[in-house]
Amino acid sequence: MAKHWGKVLTAMVTPFDADGRLNLDAARALARRLADNGSDGLVVAATTGEAPTLSDAERFDLIRAVSEAVTIPVLAGTGSNDTRHALALTARAEELGAAGAFLVSPYYNRPPQAGIEAHFRALAAATRLPVMLYDVPGRTGRRIARDVLLRLLGEVDNIVAFKDATGDPAAAASLVAEAGDRFELYSGDDALTLPLLAIGAVGVVGTSTHWTGPEFAAMIAAFEQGDVRRARAINAALQPSFAFSNTDDSVYSMSVKAMLRGQGLAVGECRLPLPAAPESVGRQAAEVWRRLEAWRAGQR
């Protein structure tokens, strides 16, 4: 059972206005919408939230605004490939009322495993917040080694969760088998949530959960209740959403915003280097939404 933040966490996009400025009113509205539609918690100012394009001041304004807008937990994306910067971001997020720190492994500079471990130990030691580690080697260029994870999870009390976006369920199963009582595993890939539930995950940090939160909540509940047939049926209904969320033409932030704009939410476009989504993405979003609504109608 998820003890700290819940089972369905949404990695929230960051709304911008027509001039590309941070839109805090839209962020509050989106956060409340997600809280009302299946999300147990939110992750803000992380990759899907276009953290690399946010100034520190914008990041802090966003964390404060969203934390004040909802009663569900808000995890702050405070990771960086500069340990000193990440320390400052995490300290400020704690002051602003974040419910946890969401820490991606250092990216681009590809430190050795000793550096990755020292980075996480320094960050965890400097905060009272519970910490979720995030491993996404496709973006960072370096995977967190299994022995490093085992030491961190076993020796650092406030590292309590791990978001796995490695695409390696076998390794996740091995990690849970050895250290499952020390941490909570979250799927970092929406499409792998059901397989990871089977080996001990407690939930998902998702992107398509911007519009599929109720389905993810129902799928996880069905699996926990032993109704695997029902969980598989829900997972099958979500396949178009999974396929839509990330393509060569439209990565997660772009796709999610296209879907939300189609539903009338003022989230704006992404900031460069993420370009405006092609018109075809908006059409695809409408079709994905139509199919999901048709499936929902059939369940009533």
Binding-site residue numbers are 48, 205
Strand, helix or coil for residue 283: helix
For CA atoms 34, 15, 206, 277, the dihedral sign is positive
Partners of 76 in the β-ladder? 44, 101
Q: Which of 8, 86, 33 is nearest to 266 (CA)?
A: 33
Whether 257 is catalytic? no
Rg (CA), the chain: 18
Which among 7, 107, 163, 252 is annotated as catalytic?
Answer: 163
Lookup: tokens for 57: 């001041």
H helices present in the chain, as ranges: 24-36, 56-69, 83-95, 113-125, 137-140, 146-155, 169-179, 193-198, 209-224, 228-237, 239-245, 252-262, 279-299
> How far from the centroid of its chain's Cα atoms is residue 194's Cα?
16
CB 86 within 8 A of CB 118: no
Give the pairing of strands 184-187 and 159-164. parallel
Whether 163 is catalytic? yes
Which among 107, 134, 186, 252 is annotated as catalytic?
Answer: 134
Q: Which residues make up each annotated binding site for pyruvate?
A: 48, 205
Active-site residue list: 134, 163
